[in-house]
A and B are shown apart, each in its own frame.
Chain A
Amino acid sequence: MVEVTVAVRNELGLHARAAARLVRTANRFQSSVRLERIDGSLSADAKSILHVLMLAASGGTQLRAVAEGNDEAEAIAALSGLFETGFGELEL
């Protein structure tokens, strides 16, 4: 199991478009991938857009990403990359 803390860096948060990118990415891996609120109050399957949207993660929110499976490291790397670049929405 691999676990990492990520931050939602784009201003608009995990809205539909960003969530779509996240879910498409998560689905490329065999491992199970979950996103959780830091306080543990909500946990979402990162492969389901409805779950991800339910996290209601606005800009600035911190989340825990957890992957488990044979390609767990790659999955986490890909996901944290997306968070890092604000889903391509950081105003450059």
Chain B
Amino acid sequence: MISESTAKPAEQRWHGLSVSEGLVVGRVLRVHRGTRHVYPARIEVGDVAGEIERFRAARDQARTQLLAIKDRAAIVMGSDHAYIFDAHLLMLEDRKLSEEIENYITLKRANAEWAVKVLGDRLLSVYAEIKDEYLRERGSDIEDVIHRVLEALSGETPTYLNLNEDAVIVSEDLLPSAVAELDLAHARAIVTDAGGWTSHTAIIARGLGIPAMVGLEDLCQHARTGDEIVVDSYQGEVVLHPSRETIQRCHAEIEKRSSAHHPAQPRGSGIAVTSDGVQVRMRANVELPAEFAGVARFGALGIGLYRSEFLLSRPGVMLSEAKQYQAYSEVAALAGDAGAVIRLFDLGGDKGGDSVIDSERNPALGLRAIRFSLRNEAVLRTQVRAIMRAASKGRLDIVLPMVSDVSDVMRAKEMIAQERATLESAREELGPVRIGAMIEVPSAVLTAARIAKVVDFFELGTNDLVQYILAVDRSNDKVADWFRSLHPAVLDSISRTLQAARAANIPAIVCGEMASTPAYAVILVGLGATDLSMTPSTIPRVTRVLEGIDSRDAVSIAAECLQCATADEVESIVREQFQTRWPQLFPPKTLPAKRVGC
């Protein structure tokens, strides 16, 4: 016992499967899977109805928690990952499962906990038989849901963990919702005893770009929160209680890798050069602090789009100027010489902000984005003050989301000028800030030439542009067949906007999903785009494709597409031309699939 405080425990090593590469030295944060022991109890006949009620109440409580987690996950991990919780909700709402549990309670006179566990285990045993690895791993989703109901039955509420800067998450196996509940922006690495290449842990760690290892068997039994730990997924090794020599060696290795990586990396330039010498800037779309590392890692030329509303992840709470200043200063430092474009809060509509806004019948066409900020002047003024002050630390620009026409721009510019004057007279240190307009609604496309005269740059938000040009809600499955990024009307809108920018001699950055998708990026370049902004991890892939093409080919394909009458026609041209010209760059799966019967 005395030795515990004086002697350092000996180094211990584990080997496992590396599912996301990297090398870090940090401290353990044990996250318990929360395996719970459930015992059967026989209840009186008269208590059956009450027991069923108890189960239903727990199920409803679990449902409320899941709805909150789903919202949070959409912010922290992106809506793609949040979908998983929709599956969890459906499992909870599954009528047959509830019926079976309630029948079990009635027939066996079992306590609710036992009924949930028995039927849950029965489901899991069927799952364990599935051959396909990816689908088998989904058993963890069922486990997660069962666990949540059991927790609700026990009357406990889940605890949320705040992570330290150097936390290495160590767990038996992270359940998907635990991953969403953790503040992963600060996690340095994730290691688990169980899991495979396609487990949630693996998928999310790769998305966040942090190292992860799974299949470490009994690491959890030995690791305690606060222990020093090395995760080296290059070597497939975890070292607990590393010796001073091991730590030094790791730091040297980290140093070596980072200096070897960055300057020497040919992709580090942030510029893709087509085979005929056209330069295309490759910038990063960023919202989460967790994504910041990707900007340097994937060699982005600064940040083309910073979605500032992420800062307001807590509903209804507006952030102080000081807090915003700090956040924007970090963004400026991160973006480096190429700078960052901060999009003013895109609040309202379906984007949250919640209690501040009354619900509207048609939020996508309602008081959102710049309209919201113009109506709530204090919000806009606070934000631009923080940005102008932070711009003294590094290059920052402002882009106004969803402007309808010149009048929105002029009103915003007037407020920005007033705030600048006030700050200047108070002798605040300010930086130059250029002001751009997001072109994403039809009226802005049609008056782009005039808007171009009053702004310093354009930014084309293709996601909203497709939605508004085609009048299709992209979250509505019923009209999914009408959401066509390659619709000639969309391509024409992009082409007109880029032309208006060229005529006014201002830059135009194209951001949105289209820029992240290699086949679409080629069309964008064909339409005249030379400045793209995308999810950092997609930069290498898009760069590789752009460097393999001749931009003149892209121009002639795009010109042909502009003549089409329907999205089907455009897609078939893209399929044929891309496969003929660049078969090595575009295997069939990367091209739009042929649609049947629509």
Residues of A bordering B, CB below 8 Å: 9, 12-17, 19-21, 23-25, 28, 45, 48-51, 53-54, 56-58, 77-78, 80-82, 84-86, 88, 90-92
Contact = CB atoms under 8 A, between A and B. Distances in A.
Contacts of A24: 86, 90, 477
A58 B485 CA distance: 28
A60 to B, nearest CB: 10
A92 B142 CA distance: 31
Which secondary structure dominates where chain B touches chain A? helix
Contacts of B519: 92
A49 B477 CA distance: 17
Nearest to B133: A58
Nearest to A27: B90
Interface residues of B, number: 41
A53 B589 contact: no
Given A23-B90, A49-B94, A88-B480, A16 B132 contact: no
B590 A92 contact: yes
B592 A84 contact: no
B477 A50 contact: no
B503 interface: no
Contacts of A56: 130-132, 135-136
Given A81-B481, A84-B596, A85-B480, A15 B134 contact: yes
B134 A50 contact: no
A48 B92 CA distance: 10
A91 B598 CA distance: 20
B573 to A, nearest CB: 14
A53 B597 contact: no
Given A13-B132, A17-B84, A50-B97, 16 more contacts: A15-B135, A15-B138, A16-B84, A17-B80, A17-B86, A20-B83, A49-B91, A49-B94, A50-B96, A53-B127, A54-B126, A56-B131, A84-B595, A91-B517, A91-B589, A92-B592
Interface of B: 80, 83-84, 86-88, 90-91, 94-97, 123, 126-127, 130-132, 134-136, 138, 141-142, 477-478, 480-481, 485, 517, 519-520, 589-593, 595-598
A81 to B, nearest CB: 6
A54 B216 CA distance: 28
A54 B138 CA distance: 10
Nearest to B91: A49
A91 B87 contact: no
A81 B126 CA distance: 29
B123 A58 contact: no
Nearest to A17: B83
A17 B87 contact: yes
A50 B91 contact: yes
Contacts of A50: 91, 94, 96-97, 123, 142
B550 to A, nearest CB: 22
B597 A92 contact: no
B447 to A, nearest CB: 30
10 contacts: A15-B134, A17-B86, A17-B87, A20-B87, A24-B90, A24-B477, A48-B96, A50-B123, A54-B126, A84-B597
A54 B407 CA distance: 56
B134 A12 contact: yes
Contacts of A77: 597
Contacts of B91: 49-50
Nearest to B100: A50
